Amino acid sequence: MKINKIQNGFLMNNQEYKIIGKEEIISETQVHVETDKGVILLDTSVIINDNSFIDIIEFYNFLIN
């Protein structure tokens, strides 16, 4: 799956998600992201702006920064 960052959120499946709360890392590869459309599970298989990740913390930091 590919997503793209936008200000304060990301685009996934042609839908805009605004990050409204803190993340919750639930495993070494998975994170729960609180958005305006609910809590979304993202993992390191997701490509963000054509960038791949192995570490979930790096993944999330890239997503929110």
Partner 1 sequence: MALNNTQLNRLDGITKEYVDFSISGLTASAGGTSGTSGTSGIDGANGPSGTSGSSGSSGSSGSSGTSGSSGSSGTSGSSGSSGTSGSSGSSGSSGTRGTSGSSGTSGSSGTSGSSGTSGSSGSSGSNGAMKLLGFSGVVGTPSNSTNNVLSHSLLISANTLSSNNILQLVWRMKRIGASNAGQIFSRIYHNTSSSLTGATLLVSTIFTMNGGSTQFLGYCERNFAYDGTSLITYINAAFSEYTTGTIQTTAFTKTQDNYIIFAIQCGNAADTANIDLYKIFLYG
Q: Which of 6, 20, 26, 64 binds partner 1 (CB under 8 A)?
A: 26
CA–CA dist 37, 55 (Å, integer): 25
Least Å distance between CB 11 and partner 1? 12
Report the first-to-last Cα separation within the chain, whole angstroms: 20
Decide if residue 29 touches partner 1 (CB under 8 A): yes
Nearer to partner 1, 2 or 8 (CB): 2
Chain position carrying tokens 């490509």: 47
Q: Are strands 2-6 and 47-48 parallel, antiparallel or unpaired?
A: parallel
Which spans of this chain sit near partner 1 (rule: CB under 8 A)?
1, 12-13, 26-30, 32, 37-43, 45-46
